[in-house]
Amino acid sequence: MLRTHTCGELRLNDINKTVTLCGWVQKVRDKGSLLWIDLRDRYGITQLMLEEGTSTAQSILVARQLGREFVIKVTGTVIERISKNSKIDTGDVEIKVGGLEVLNSAKIPPFIIEDETDGGDELRMKYRYLDLRRAVVRKNLELRHRMAKVTRDYMDTQGFIEVETPVLIKSTPEGARDFVVPSRMNSGEFYALPQSPQTFKQLLMVSGFDRYFQIVKCFRDEDLRADRQPEFTQIDCEMSFVTQEDILNMFEGLIKHLFRNVKGIEFEKFPRMDYADAMKYYGADKPDTRFAMSFVEITDLAKGKGFQVFDSAEIVVGICAKGCAEYTRKQLDELTDFVKKSQIGAKGLVYVKHGNEGIKSSVDKFFPIEQLTEWLEVFGAEKGDLLLILSGETDKTRKQLSELRLEMGTRLGLRDKNVFKPLWVLDFPLLEWDNEAQRYHAMHHPFTSPKPQDIGKLHSHPGEVRANAYDMVINGVEVGGGSIRIHDRTLQATMFRLLGFTDEQAKAQFGFLMDAFEFGAPPHGGIAFGFDRLCSLFGGADSIRDFIAFPKNNAGRDVMIDSPSEISDEQLKELSIGVVKHSK
């Protein structure tokens, strides 16, 4: 090795040792006869000291020419520092440099390589390899490594084996568009990149691998957000001969194991909530349960009292914001503007304050004090509380109120990143009506089994059929989801028909799976966790990007390698592809 120690290693008990370190120059301070260098590597920062008289003239000359991010190798003696730095692990010592060698010079970096940087997002992504030198970013990847390691340990002890599935496949329906790859050898034909290994893991169950997992890349061509990337990683799992309960316990175990080993946090049994209740009380299938503020419906109390807005509404529903009765006009206006934003789309917001000056409401013209008092009671509101009420069509209003609830949770500081509230959401509907396409979609995916007691409704009331499907939610983030699968060819064929496939289409796309079901498919089910999301959640961040070594930007571009990019005419020809150019 070129070095004897790393830059994060030396302590007081190493004093007088002769050591050799390698690393990057973080900073040089030249005080005339004395000169200090902060030397950085993956493990930390060590202070180097050169002194006229003791260090060689040559070393001092070289040191004076060092720039930020030069790569150097130094040899010297570990000494105790006079002024210690308690902020760094090596802060008690420094190296009195004898020899100094430049291993490589560096251009001035485009942004400051420290925890606090002046580099904007795009610039940091363009020079991501420099960004990754920053301790804050590196720590995220270290956390990711640890999460993967701890996951593999748990899965291994539970008897799961990791099997790789192919990347060049055929469409897997997870509700997004496929990325496709042209085939040179099969002109005019395309592979699809897996949106998930769903069908393969089911086939592995047919093969008798009764406990499969894989930490695997998935690809979905959809609009990007802070917590989405076109390629992302799942902890993908499948088991045979299990009930839903078995799956919930096994993977609650995984998440507990991760919290215990990565964050030192212990959990009791995770709470469970039906999808229907999640929608009714939180307006979302992934409620943030770090705080209560659950919905209270006052439809019956509020309708028929002459207030047109409520009278024409399907639902009147609200939340009680504790201690917010003294909100000012301005604060209430801000909340009204918030719910009226186009992304949320409410028409207005009704409030009732139970404040120092008694009960005040934006609708007191229509509702006398006795009625407002009754509302307050139903909400369980106390003096000092504020009711925020929305009305309209049920699904839409619940969604809008859900956004307002989260906003209030944030405003009131109830969404602490160091508090973790896991939750299972169960009994999802099997199908979801798509108004635009005028047909049903599978809410999870087409391989999800209906609840046996609901199978009778498949044809008469498809929208009411519940699925053996479950999501794990932590702090309002869906971290994982899965289902017990259909393992019977006839039921699978029925499902495809319900989803609008003709038998021919179903056969062309999923014939291989339905055929496999005729060769002794065991009952099976599984789940997949969004690994990037889990990492960002554990790391206390909102964006998954900082937990991915080389992420893409919001337009799906890798600005460092400049991809996607055009390919040569020759390549196009080989692939028998013609490109229609659109002006940008």
Residues near ligand ASP (CB under 6 A) = 174, 196, 198, 481-483, 526-528
Burial class (CB in 10 A: 0-12, 13-18, 19+), 132: middle
For ligand ASP, the closer CB: 55 or 172: 172
Min dist CB 530 to ligand ASP, Å, is 8
For ligand ASP, the closer CB: 200 or 295: 200
The C-alpha atoms of residue 401 and residue 293 are separated, in whole angstroms, by: 11
How far does CA 120 lie from the centroid of its chain?
22
Min dist CB 363 to ligand ASP, Å, is 43
The C-alpha atoms of residue 89 and residue 80 are separated, in whole angstroms, by: 13
For ligand ASP, the closer CB: 351 or 517: 517
Coil/strand/helix, residue 457: helix
The C-alpha atoms of residue 68 and residue 428 are separated, in whole angstroms, by: 56
Min dist CB 481 to ligand ASP, Å, is 5
Min dist CB 528 to ligand ASP, Å, is 4
For 65, residues 6+ apart whose C-beta sits below 8 A from its C-beta are: none
Min dist CB 201 to ligand ASP, Å, is 7
Provide the greatest CA pair distance for the chain. 94
Coil/strand/helix, residue 53: coil
For ligand ASP, the closer CB: 5 or 220: 220
- Helices in 298-355 by DSSP H: which ranges? 299-302, 308-311, 329-340
Residue 111 vs residues 121, 127, 547: alpha-carbon distances, Å: 11, 9, 20
Min dist CB 198 to ligand ASP, Å, is 4
Coil/strand/helix, residue 65: coil
Min dist CB 288 to ligand ASP, Å, is 21
For ligand ASP, the closer CB: 196 or 536: 196
Instruction: Please provide residue 186's backbone torsions phi and psi, each rounded to the nearest 5 degrees.
Output: -125, 75
For ligand ASP, the closer CB: 218 or 317: 218
For ligand ASP, the closer CB: 196 or 229: 196
The C-alpha atoms of residue 269 and residue 251 are separated, in whole angstroms, by: 12
For ligand ASP, the closer CB: 281 or 531: 531
Residue 453 DSSP code:
G
Min dist CB 270 to ligand ASP, Å, is 18
Min dist CB 232 to ligand ASP, Å, is 10
For ligand ASP, the closer CB: 473 or 527: 527
Burial of 429-465, coded b for 16+ CB within 10 Å and e otherwise, reads: bbbeeeeeeeebbbbbbbbbbbbeebeebbeeebeeb
Strand order through the sheet with 272-274: 161-162, 211-219, 231-240, 524-530, 477-484, 469-474, 422-426, 272-274
Min dist CB 537 to ligand ASP, Å, is 17
The C-alpha atoms of residue 125 and residue 138 are separated, in whole angstroms, by: 14
For ligand ASP, the closer CB: 78 or 254: 254
For ligand ASP, the closer CB: 454 or 471: 471
The 10 Å Cβ neighbour count of residue 391 is: 27
Looking up tokens 């007081």 gives 12
Min dist CB 280 to ligand ASP, Å, is 24
Question: Considering only CA atoms, which of 7, 2, 13 is closest in space to residue 38?
Answer: 7
Residue 517 DSSP code:
T
Token reading at 468:
């053996």
